Copies of this chain bind each other. A is one copy, B any other.
């Protein structure tokens, strides 16, 4: 089910912090022309943790309307199992195809393999739609327990995992531990190509918001066994990906979305906008990525 490129969409805000739905929809219109498999709405880089529930549902409905036959995956993970189940049901009502469920993370030392297994199974039991696990240690401070994917992969509604740690060895071990029906998506753009090499089937990559064409080109190059081209695109994609995530964060990503001719909009505090000089750096990196995709 998880195949190809799915940008985890940014959520544009007006300068006063209000939701900028028109920009969100304009971005979806722009992405329609790109080689994408679908969209993740309400991912970490979509500032889901800073959105109210009504805003979240508004975004999901808008994505559904504009996505056509493409997948809409909704980020529905909340700290408690019951709240996650309740919100997943609401997301399903908007027409989302699947729920992406971040690991709970407040009580890290208690998030044992057993606790997480029960959490995901309860969410899957209560969910009308498919469930995708989501591990993002940079956000949660929680390492993914190696055996978790295999432990829940047998559930008919648990269909995959987004792995965002950047640890290709871990990703490979997970792929090797699950049946072919369970897809692992790479969530860390600097290791997208090597992750594909060890069995990732999809890319849910923040950088695809501002550079969908290079990301899709890398994926196509890999799919057609053109390893040399995939590696070349990876090399120029990496600095851009690092800049719009680890270095400059969501504000950097939104600036790059603006620079790519789309509408990133403002961030919500406590995030701060990037300094003007960052835009010059991002433009250079964007240009390099686009050139590599065309070459």
Chain A residues with CB under 8 Å of chain B are 17, 44, 47, 49-50, 52, 79-83, 104, 106-112, 114-116, 118-119, 122, 138-141, 166-169, 172-173, 176, 188, 190-191, 193-195, 197-199, 225, 227, 231, 234-235, 238, 246-247, 249-251, 268-272
Contact = CB atoms under 8 A, between A and B. Distances in A.
Contacts of A81: 268-270
A64 B133 CA distance: 40
A122 B190 CA distance: 33
Nearest to A44: B106
A107 B250 contact: yes
Greatest chain B CB density within 10 A among A116, A234, A246 is at A234
How many copies the complex holds: the figure is: 4
A80 B122 contact: no
Contacts of A118: 269-270, 272
A134 to B, nearest CB: 13
A249 B250 CA distance: 33
Contacts of A197: 193-194, 197, 227, 231
A161 B23 CA distance: 39
A194 B198 contact: yes
Contacts of A271: 107, 110, 115
A231 B193 CA distance: 14
Contacts of A173: 190, 238
